[in-house]
Amino acid sequence: MNSYTVIDEKNWKRAFHCAVFRDSVEPAFCVTFELDITHFLPMVKKKGYSFTMALIYAVSKCANEVEEFRCRFVDGKAVLFDRIDTAFTYLNRETELFKVVNVEMKDTMEEYVAAASKAAEEQKAYFTGPLGNDVFQFSPMPWVTYTHISHTNSGKKDNATPLFDWGKYFERDGKIFLPFSVQAHHSFVDGLHVGKLAETLQNYLNTYES
């Protein structure tokens, strides 16, 4: 597990909000919006990267920069992780079943794509055990250009792991767009923070060079 700091809830400005949403029947919320990948997609193809792995890296890099997306519950306490790694679904085309692959975050996209592609191909088991608390979960669905998505609910209210999805990209008015979804725990994340992530991520996709 990555290192973390226990949040001092007595002096935490969000303590009351955290408590209110933590006790909700469904403490997570999901937002779907479009990302413009007109610049990013050809850059990734030019480098020969898997689009899925490249986008997982991009999202994880940007989400790590928004502090609220690094918050979790550990042993009942609110904590802030120093870094969040990744866990993503990967389809076995022969069986048409997916496996869940865990990969540490890397400093560069090149390093991450290489490590993630290798891990995904070499892993034989569909599941290797419970997911760690210090990951971003990814479950892309590139077969459908959706406008909304929902997820299964484990019933564990303290599960604050963000879940990111995207659908099939499409062209409109000469640009390429991607439906993208963010599910987050409302104890830590508000719409404001989703907006910060969306802005940071879109800027990264618009300016990515290497």
Question: Which residues on adjacent β-strands are paired with residue 78?
Answer: 73
Task: Tell me: pLDDT of 181 over 80.
Answer: yes
Q: How far is CA 114 from CA 8, 26, 48, 63, 91, in A?
A: 38, 37, 11, 20, 17
| pTM > 0.85: yes or no | yes
Domain ranges of the chain: 4-207
Which pLDDT score, from 0 to 100, does residue 31 have? Answer: 97
Please state which CATH number belongs to domain 4-207: 3.30.559.10
The tens digit of pLDDT for each residue in 8-45 reads 999 999 999 999 999 899 999 999 999 999 999 999 99
Residue 23: its pLDDT value, please?
Answer: 87
Supply 172's token pair.
Answer: 């409109």
- Read off φ and ψ for residue 126, nearest 5 degrees: -75, -40
- Confidence band (pLDDT; 50, 70, 90) for 153? confident
Q: Are 136 and 57 a contacting pair, CB within 8 Å?
A: no
Please check the confidence at residue 172 and state whether its pLDDT lies above 80: yes
Residue 67: its pLDDT value, please? 98
What percent of the chain is modeled with pLDDT above 90?
Answer: 92
* E strand intervals along 37-162: 71-74, 77-81, 85-92, 97-103, 135-138
Confidence of residue 186 (pLDDT cuts 50, 70, 90): very high
pLDDT tier, 198 (very low <50, low <70, confident <90, very high otherwise): very high
Question: Is residue 152 very low, low, confident or very high in pLDDT (cuts 50, 70, 90)?
Answer: confident
Grade residue 155 by pLDDT with cuts at 50, 70 and 90.
confident
